[in-house]
Every structure is written in structure tokens, then in C-alpha cells.
């Protein structure tokens, strides 16, 4: 079969589903390539992770077109035989790290989060050795709540003894960082940041305690970083200032509903202020808001 693949979200971060599909089809003897408009394919896969990514509108010449991913509100898993296939990293030749999940699912049901609906309760997914690439010592884990899993904690403990550099890029649940888990986390080699989540102001004391445990265990203060969900801007503003006072780098994420509803201009502007560190470190939100508002008014 001739297979075409489309990463609808663009190629900024590898699409794990497409890498598994590519590997599986190649194992079946099929040819796999990025879709191009000049070829007729037996089957084309379109994968979209984000609901806000515009759909792919180019005409597709294929006997069969299959769409999948959260961006299409498709919460199904890949077929088990595909899910069990090691990713084909050759389709993203410039990406140097392994990516994968130690666990799937979550123990919580935060109302703004799709994970409980999409993945259900937490369960083991793969050992770290099965995610690692032979040509890389770096692994980016996409787990949603790895600390809630004994299996996940066991993987973290075992990785602490290895020369492996890691990132948990979805943020760790600060409520599950105890003095014991902090010691396990401090033994890991981190690619850059230890990412926490701080989605509401009620989490501030919890994050502060978790950060203290991590520092006591030996994690450098400069590694501490936190996602800040931005729904109400005034509320998120309090949170980013409090995190900054704790020595934690905040990263603002404007809230989008499950239907891909767009954040407001104020939410977007606030996120730019937080995430562009030259702005965040040099001026207050009130001043940034006023100056950028004035520029927009005068068309500059």
C-alpha cells in the first residue's frame, strides 16, 4: 500500500500517533511518506492534536482518508498492534529526543481538562527503557499525572540511576510531591525545567510546599517552572506574581474549551506578557496592557 501522512498541527513537535502508524505500515511492507498533492494514495492519515488548529483543506487524492486525534474530537486509541509499535523517528529527522508515555490517564477530574474523558483512570503504559531511543539520551514524557502511579514512580526511581535526561512536559501534580517523591525527582537529570502545574489560586500554597521539598532535595531553584492556566486574567495575574515571588518561572496558557473556542484578546495579551520574559521581567502587566492597547489603537 502507498500511505500518505499529514501532521495537521505542523511539524513543530513530533506526532506520536503518526510515528507509530508510519512504523507499523513500514513493518507491513507499505511505503509511507508525507502527503503531497501530486500523488494518489491508497490511504492517507490526518492527525490533529489541537482543537484550535485549522483543519486541513487541501484536496486529497486517496482511496481512503482517516482522521484522528483530539483535534478532531476523536478520543479513541490507536489499534493495539499500532500502539505497541515503536515510533518511526525518521519522519522527524531533526528531532533529537525520544517521546512517550510511562502512564496514561489521571486520578483527577479537573473540569477544564480533557484527559479524564479521553484517557480514563491512570494506568501503566510503558517502561522507560521501551520509550528510550537507541540514538538519544534524552526523553520527553507526555504523561498527565505520572506521580499518581506507583508504576510511574518506579520508572522515575530507576531512571535516577541512569545517564538519561528527561522532561515531563505536561507538568507535575504538586499535590503529589512529598519529601519522598521530591528525593526521587531530584535524582533525575533534567533537560531543563522541572515543570509543575498551577491551574488555580488554591494551588499556590501547594506549589510553594512542593517547591520547598524539591529545593530541599537538591533541585536548583532556577529549574522550577509552572504552567498557569489563564481563565480569569485578574486571578491568573495574582498567580504569576506569587509564583515569581517563590522563584518559579510561570508559563501562561490561555484556556480553550473542548470545542476549540478561541481565548479572548485579553487572555492572549496576558499570556504574551508572561511568556515573553523580556516583557515580564521589565514591566508590570498594567503598563504592558496600557502600552500595547495604545499601540493597537494607533495601528502600530
Per CB under 6 A, residues contacting ligand SF4 are 106, 108-110, 113, 115-116, 144-145, 173
CB of 115 vs ligand SF4, minimal distance in Å: 4
Cα distances from 71 to residues 48, 90, 173, 251, 258, in angstroms, run 5, 24, 24, 22, 9
Whole-angstrom distance, CA of residue 180 vs CA of residue 74 = 38
Give the sheet arrangement for strand 98-100, strand by strand: 98-100, 138-141, 165-168, 189-190
CB of 13 vs ligand SF4, minimal distance in Å: 18
CA-based nearest residue to 173, from 219, 243, 100, 110: 110
CB of 152 vs ligand SF4, minimal distance in Å: 13
CA-based nearest residue to 222, from 251, 193, 191, 250: 193
Assign 114 to helix, strand or coil. Answer: coil
Whole-angstrom distance, CA of residue 151 vs CA of residue 123 = 8
Give the nearer residue to ligand SF4 in terms of CB position, either 85 or 103.
103
69: alpha, beta or left, given left = phi > 0 and alpha = psi -120 to 50? left
Give the nearer residue to ligand SF4 in terms of CB position, either 48 or 104.
104
Give the nearer residue to ligand SF4 in terms of CB position, either 235 or 245.
235
CB of 168 vs ligand SF4, minimal distance in Å: 12
226's CB contacts (< 8 A; 6+ apart) are 171, 195, 196, 197, 198, 207, 243, 248, 249, 250, 251
CA-based nearest residue to 227, from 266, 193, 196: 196
Give the nearer residue to ligand SF4 in terms of CB position, either 43 or 104.
104
CB of 46 vs ligand SF4, minimal distance in Å: 26
CA-based nearest residue to 18, from 92, 71, 93, 105: 92
Give the nearer residue to ligand SF4 in terms of CB position, either 115 or 156.
115
Give the nearer residue to ligand SF4 in terms of CB position, either 88 or 173.
173
Give the nearer residue to ligand SF4 in terms of CB position, either 91 or 148.
148
CB of 80 vs ligand SF4, minimal distance in Å: 23
CB of 229 vs ligand SF4, minimal distance in Å: 8
Give the nearer residue to ligand SF4 in terms of CB position, either 20 or 104.
104
Assign 204 to helix, strand or coil. Answer: helix
Cα distances from 168 to residues 98, 144, 192, in angstroms, run 12, 9, 10
CB of 135 vs ligand SF4, minimal distance in Å: 30
Amino acid at each position: 500500500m502507498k500511505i500518505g501522512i499529514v501532521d495537521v498541527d505542523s511539524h513543530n513537535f513530533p506526532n506520536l500517533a503518526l510515528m507509530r502508524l508510519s512504523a507499523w505500515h513500514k513493518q507491513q511492507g507499505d511505503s509511507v511518506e508525507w502527503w503531497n498533492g501530486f500523488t494518489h494514495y491508497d490511504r492517507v492519515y490526518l492527525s490533529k492534536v489541537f482543537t484550535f488548529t485549522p483543519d486541513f483543506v487541501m484536496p486529497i487524492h486517496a482511496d481512503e482518508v482517516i482522521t484522528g486525534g483530539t483535534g478532531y474530537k476523536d478520543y479513541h486509541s490507536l489499534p493495539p498492534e499500532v500502539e505497541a509499535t515503536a515510533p518511526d523517528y525518521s519522519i522527524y529527522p531533526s528531532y533529537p529526543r525520544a517521546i512517550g508515555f510511562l502512564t496514561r490517564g489521571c486520578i483527577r477530574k479537573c473540569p477544564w481538562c480533557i484527559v479524564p474523558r479521553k484517557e480514563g483512570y491512570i494506568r501503566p503504559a510503558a517502561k522507560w527503557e521501551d520509550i528510550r531511543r537507541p540514538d538519544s539520551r534524552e526523553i520527553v514524557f507526555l504523561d498527565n499525572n505520572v506521580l499518581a502511579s506507583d508504576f510511574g514512580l518506579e520508572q522515575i526511581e530507576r531512571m535516577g540511576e541512569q545517564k538519561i535526561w528527561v522532561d515531563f512536559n505536561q507538568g507535575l501534580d504538586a499535590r503529589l510531591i512529598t519529601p519522598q517523591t521530591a528525593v526521587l525527582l531530584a535524582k533525575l537529570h533534567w533537560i531543563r525545567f522541572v515543570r509543575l502545574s498551577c491551574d488555580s489560586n488554591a494551588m499556590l500554597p501547594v506549589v510553594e510546599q512542593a517547591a520547598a521539598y524539591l529545593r530541599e532535595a537538591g533541585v536548583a531553584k532556577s529549574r522550577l517552572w509552572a504552567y498557569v492556566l489563564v481563565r480569569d486574567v485578574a486571578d491568573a495575574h495574582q498567580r504569576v506574581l506569587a509564583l515569581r515571588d517563590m522563584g518559579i518561572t510561570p508559563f501562561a496558557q490561555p484556556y480553550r474549551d473542548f470545542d476549540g473556542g478561541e481565548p479572548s484578546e485579553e487572555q492572549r495579551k496576558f499570556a504574551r506578557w508572561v511568556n515573553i520574559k523580556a516583557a515580564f521581567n521589565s514591566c508590570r502587566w498594567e503598563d504592558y496592557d496600557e502600552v500595547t492597547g495604545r499601540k493597537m489603537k494607533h495601528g502600530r
